[in-house]
């Protein structure tokens, strides 16, 4: 069973039977976390069919390739292709071989007046984390946005990120 299907199954269980029915649910602070296999879903709230997504993070196996730049580039391209169904397309914002990370952001971001909304994927050789952000003049820093995501979208995002983390430089 794919990671996305496992995630959807746990979210449906949470919606149908409540938080005590889901063994890997961590409650606390301003958000909750659901851990399924190598994925951690952080969310603010949920209903019968959706969550208010805070972040989705996946871990994987570190690649054996010696060429860090080629591996990160291949995985970043796979993330951009795999998540092409989001509101805005993703593009590589930064690729740091020394830190072994890449950062993708919405390109272009969504503007609502002076506010800017965008997706960001922090990509490592063995991890990926997607979060929706908001920035506006007067804010000291960007803010995480609670993004309404159906269980199906969460499953699809999990599968897309998992597939990208399995991509190797060829």
Asked whether the predicted pLDDT for residue 90 surpasses 90, the reply is yes
Which H or E run includes 76? helix 68-82
pLDDT at 83: 98
Which band of pLDDT confidence, cut at 50, 70 and 90, is reported for residue 65?
A: low
Asked whether the predicted pLDDT for residue 67 surpasses 90, the reply is no
Query: What are 112-151's pLDDT values in tens digits?
Result: 999 999 999 999 989 999 999 999 999 999 999 999 999 9
Give ∠ CA 106-130-1 in degrees, rounded to 5.
Answer: 125
Asked whether the predicted pLDDT for residue 54 surpasses 90, the reply is yes
Q: Helix, strand, or coil here: 42?
A: strand
pLDDT at 78: 96
- Put simply, whether the predicted model's pTM sits higher than 0.75 gets the answer yes
* Cα distance between residue 42 and residue 33, in whole Å: 4
Which band of pLDDT confidence, cut at 50, 70 and 90, is reported for residue 105?
A: very high
Asked whether the predicted pLDDT for residue 79 surpasses 70, the reply is yes
Domain borders along the chain are 3-165
Which band of pLDDT confidence, cut at 50, 70 and 90, is reported for residue 167?
A: confident
Q: Contact 78/163 with Cβ under 8 angstroms?
A: yes
Which band of pLDDT confidence, cut at 50, 70 and 90, is reported for residue 64?
A: low
Which band of pLDDT confidence, cut at 50, 70 and 90, is reported for residue 88?
A: very high
Which band of pLDDT confidence, cut at 50, 70 and 90, is reported for residue 158?
A: very high
pLDDT at 150: 97
The residues near 99 (Cβ < 8 Å, ≥ 6 apart) are none
* Cα distance between residue 41 and residue 14, in whole Å: 13
* Cα distance between residue 53 and residue 72, in whole Å: 26
Other CB atoms closer than 10 Å to residue 47's CB: what's the count? 9
Distance linking the first and last C-alpha atoms of the chain: 27
pLDDT at 22: 78
């Amino acid at each position: 069973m794919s990671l996305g299907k496992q995630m959807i199954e746990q979210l449906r269980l949470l919606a149908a039977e409540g938080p005590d029915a889901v063994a890997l649910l961590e409650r606390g602070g301003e958000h909750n976390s659901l851990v399924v296999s190598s994925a951690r879903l952080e969310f603010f709230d949920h209903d019968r069919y959706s969550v208010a997504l805070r972040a989705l993070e996946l871990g994987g196996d570190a690649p054996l390739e010696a060429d860090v730049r080629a591996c990160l580039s291949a995985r970043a391209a796979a993330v951009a292709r795999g998540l092409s169904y989001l509101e805005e397309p993703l593009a590589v914002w930064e690729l740091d071989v020394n830190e072994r990370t890449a950062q993708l952001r919405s390109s272009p971001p969504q503007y609502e007046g002076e506010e800017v909304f965008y997706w960001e994927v922090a990509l490592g050789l063995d991890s990926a984390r997607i979060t929706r952000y908001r920035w506006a003049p007067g804010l000291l820093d960007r803010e995480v946005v609670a993004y309404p995501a159906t269980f199906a979208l969460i499953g699809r995002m999990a599968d897309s990120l998992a597939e990208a983390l399995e991509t190797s430089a060829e």
